[in-house]
Amino acid sequence: MEPIKVLVVDDEPNIRDLLASGLRFAGFSVLAVANGNDAVAAAEKGKPDLILLDVMLPDMSGFSVTKKLRSMDIMAPVLFLTARDEVEDKITGLTVGGDDYMTKPFSLDEIIARIHAILRRTKQASVEKSIIEVGEVSIDEDAHEVFVNGESVELSPTEYKLLRFLMENANRVLSKAQILDHVWEYDFNGEMGIVESYVSYLRKKLDPLTSEPVLLTKRGHGYMFKSTKKK
Amino acid sequence: MEPIKVLVVDDEPNIRDLLASGLRFAGFSVLAVANGNDAVAAAEKGKPDLILLDVMLPDMSGFSVTKKLRSMDIMAPVLFLTARDEVEDKITGLTVGGDDYMTKPFSLDEIIARIHAILRRTKQASVEKSIIEVGEVSIDEDAHEVFVNGESVELSPTEYKLLRFLMENANRVLSKAQILDHVWEYDFNGEMGIVESYVSYLRKKLDPLTSEPVLLTKRGHGYMFKSTKKK
DNA sequence: ACTAACGTTCAGCGTTCTCTCAGGTTTCCA
DNA sequence: TGGAAACCTGAGAGAACGCTGAACGTTAGT
């Protein structure tokens, strides 16, 4: 299987490196550049399957980059990155087709999930599944819906991300540090106690519906999602 | 099978030597350096499979080291080491993929276990198994779970580490000093009587489930985990 | 503008764990 | 065989750990 090629365009070296390393770990083939001109050149040459594009670039805006690409018949979907304060409505109008956008700061896992979602939408032949199912619990990644034994459960965005990360690593202990790094935004600067809080929230919602607790505490190590037998 | 290469980066000679010799004994090929610049150079030349990186280095922070490494396309996973009081949250967000971090003081076996866990998680094609099985007792290192003849046993963190160390060295006598060095944190300066206590705890939990005692006392020498016939 | 939902921190609480100690038991050897 | 050394184990103090409800500021939706 060919690796999926992603072009990363961001002028902040920290973010660019974070994205490049994270995506490489996730199995993508990554090319990273710092400005719009390089982006156009790299896209023409590298034929990426997807482009991660910061809206604010030193030489030209992310939108100009896309316009240029489209005029060159490079139709790879674009995932825009933008600071939270930047005018979001401008973006919504300009994302067409399979495009999407995210606000900084993001969590790496969220970016990866979004990339998969876009690719699923654009290439329907994709082998990727959009459903994670472990024991009695299942997640629909496209609809962001969670079911326990067929019954729907309402989760907040953070609850959802936490559950997804735990389920992706089911039956494996995850340290609070790991959870924090994968579920929370990259600039989160708070305490690990928040993980405890959210585990508590999830338990309150999930446990009444499962035959036995699914979120186990491994004292001194972290937490684990345990697959249970279906009812 | 090629030995796994680990790069150790710590400016405290004591810790560095402790790690280097401990990991060599555990079968790793080890390269140890004292600062960030040497680390970058060594990583470029040595192509380590994993990097053990102290966060506080004299010349640059562990953060800068990783950034530099990633930009050089050196994608080896990093296990960060940090003092317990040092601002732990500074690390948040810079661990990607399989990275993790641990606080000092650590125990040697804990480091080794964590290294194996990371390598297992990053290269899923690895042949490494996460299960240690000796006679009637088996340990799932991913889930931190212990089974005796299929029945689950609940152990505290220290009990778990002790059992793992004894089982890794099954049918071999281990002195209390050795046990102390491997299972307890390196700055522990209590009495050896604590080993006796914990062996006692383990016996109380394991013996009721085994056909014959598995933890033998070798008077004057130490303790030994003996593999028994399965029921 | 108002309201609900969400994210985050914090403190109080109960639980569990670590470690020590002391009294008892076993083993070994003079 | 007596006694010392090594070992076992129950009890308990104190600390660490984890859980949860409450409070507060911020964001999102109507």
Helices (H) and strands (E) in chain B, counts: 7, 11
CB of B217 lies under 7 Å from some atom of strand D: yes
Which secondary structure element, helix H or strand E, spans residue A216, and what is its range? strand A215-218
Contact A186 B99 (CB under 8 A): no
CA A119 to chain centre: 12
Question: Strand pairing partners for B7?
Answer: B31, B51
* CA→C1' distance for A153 and C2 (Å): 28
> Closest partner residue to B92 among A22, A175, A181, by Cβ?
A181
Nearest C-alpha of chain B: how many angstroms from A193?
Answer: 12
| Dist. CA B53–CA B131, nearest whole Å | 27
Give the per-residue pLDDT at B68. 85
Above 90 in pLDDT, residue B210? yes
Q: Which CA distances in Å does B42 have to A38, B158, B210? A: 31, 35, 49
> Closest partner residue to B101 among A25, A177, A218, by Cβ?
A177
- Averaged confidence pLDDT in chain B: 89
Specify the higher pLDDT residue, A119 or B31: B31
Considering only B43-57, B94-108, B185-199, which range has the smallest mean pLDDT? B94-108
Judge whether A188 is closer than 8 Å to chain B, CB to CB: yes
> Phi and psi at residue B20, in whole multiples of 5°?
-60, -50
* CA→C1' distance for B193 and D15 (Å): 20
Which residues in chain B are closer than 8 Å to A224, comparing Cβ atoms? 143-144
Q: Is A92 helix (H, G, I), strand (E, B) or coil?
A: helix
Structure tokens at B188: 């522990």
**CB within 8 A of A150, min separation 6: which ones?**
none
Which residues in chain A are closer than 8 Å to B88, comparing Cβ atoms? 177, 192
Give the per-residue pLDDT at A217. 98
| Dist. CA A25–CA B19, nearest whole Å | 26
Per-10-residue mean pLDDT of chain A, 231 residues long, equals 90 86 87 94 95 90 87 91 67 64 87 90 66 95 93 96 96 91 88 95 97 96 88 52
> Over the stretch B144-202, which tens digit does the pLDDT of each residue have?
999 999 999 999 999 999 999 999 999 999 999 999 999 999 999 999 999 999 999 99
pTM for this predicted structure: 0.90
